Amino acid sequence: MHISGDGIASYMVRIKPNFKVDTRLALNWIQASNGQYKATDRGYTSDIYEAEFTIRAKEEEVNNFIDAVHDNREAETNYFQLSGFESTEHIFGEDVDYSSPIDVTVLEVSGVKQPFWKTREIKVKTRALSPNFTGSPSLPSLNCLGIGYETKTDRTITKYDSYYGDFSYLDRESDVGVFVGTFMFTIDEMRAIRRYIATQRDATISIPSIGGVEYPFGPYRPNTYPISVKIIDWEDLGMWGVHDWRIKLTMAEVI
């Protein structure tokens, strides 16, 4: 990965493949009184694309990076450009376009550690500023599901007991099922589903099937595929090896 910008002598760094992708769409989800999930949306221009990664190199190279951040601040710019990404350095997610320089700002820089003799390590958290995107939005087949998925229903009944021991209750119009699972995708599939989630926003989507899951919302709910859901939460879990990505999806039933 190549670093350049105001006040910086351009140079290359290598980052460890354990980077953490942190993408947050500008959606605020709430559960309405009828049990359904709805969202307010500030728009895609308010979406956040951040990443935390580790630079491990010789002490001089790590010091050069710290100096570069300081020099960039002294230039009163507070952002610089990253370019020349390797295929295993797509730190902001697979759907961000890495073919041209990406403007970023540094949010946090950790202290320097010495993991090995003559080696230094530093963690950096950055945010991409108005990135461009690549790939066509589509929903890949949900087949490669990891162990430990959850199927549940939000039971909305709430009971109260009075001074004399009598019970009363409040209840929403319907209970809504929620499915939480981690899926593995190829690079192309991950690019497609990230774009799909980012463009569908709070829309109702149709899931043709989930591989190996007969009752996505438990056996007591209507579970006939295709099912209508909203993706109310998701987390990019990063690369798995050099050819695959993992993503954790939380999908709420739409009744």
Q: Specify the DSSP class assigned to residue 25.
A: -
Return the bridge partners of 21, or none: 51
Q: What angle do CA 179, 184, 188 make, to 5 degrees?
A: 120
Q: How far apart are CA 66 and CA 243, in angstroms?
A: 31
**Of residues 3, 245, 60, 227, the one with CA closest to residue 146:** 245
CB 225 within 8 A of CB 213: no
226 pLDDT above the threshold of 90: yes
Burial of 211: CB neighbours in 10 Å, binned 0-12, 13-18, 19+: exposed
Q: Is the pTM of this model over 0.85?
A: yes
| C-beta atoms surrounding 63 within 10 Å | 14
Q: How far apart are CA 125 and CA 115, in angstroms?
A: 19
Could you tell me the end-to-end alpha-carbon distance of the chain, in angstroms, rounded to an integer?
Answer: 47
Higher pLDDT, 221 or 126: 126
91-119 pLDDT per residue, tens: 999 999 999 999 999 898 888 888 888 88
Q: What confidence tier does 154 reach under pLDDT thresholds 50, 70, 90?
A: low
| C-beta atoms surrounding 99 within 10 Å | 9
Higher pLDDT, 9 or 236: 236
**Of residues 156, 147, 143, 161, the one with CA closest to residue 212:** 143
Dig out the tokens for 157 from the structure: 């009944």
Q: What confidence tier does 220 reach under pLDDT thresholds 50, 70, 90?
A: confident
Of all residues in the chain, what percent carry a pLDDT higher than 70?
94
CB 250 within 8 A of CB 231: yes
Rounded average pLDDT over 161-171: 68
Q: What confidence tier does 152 reach under pLDDT thresholds 50, 70, 90?
A: confident
Burial of 157: CB neighbours in 10 Å, binned 0-12, 13-18, 19+: exposed
Dig out the tokens for 84 from the structure: 């020349």
Q: What confidence tier does 158 reach under pLDDT thresholds 50, 70, 90?
A: low
**Of residues 9, 5, 20, the one with CA closest to residue 238:** 20
Write out 135-165 in H/E/C secondary structure.
Answer: CCCCCCCECCECCCCEEEEECCCEEEECCCC
Higher pLDDT, 57 or 47: 47
Rounded average pLDDT over 185-211: 97
Please tell me the predicted confidence (pLDDT) of residue 159. 64
Mean pLDDT of the residues in the chain: 89
Phi, psi torsion values for 250, nearest 5 degrees: -115, 115
Rounded average pLDDT over 229-237: 97
| C-beta atoms surrounding 77 within 10 Å | 15
Residue ranges per structural domain of the chain: 2-128, 150-253
68-87 pLDDT per residue, tens: 888 888 877 788 899 999 99
Return the bridge partners of 84, or none: none
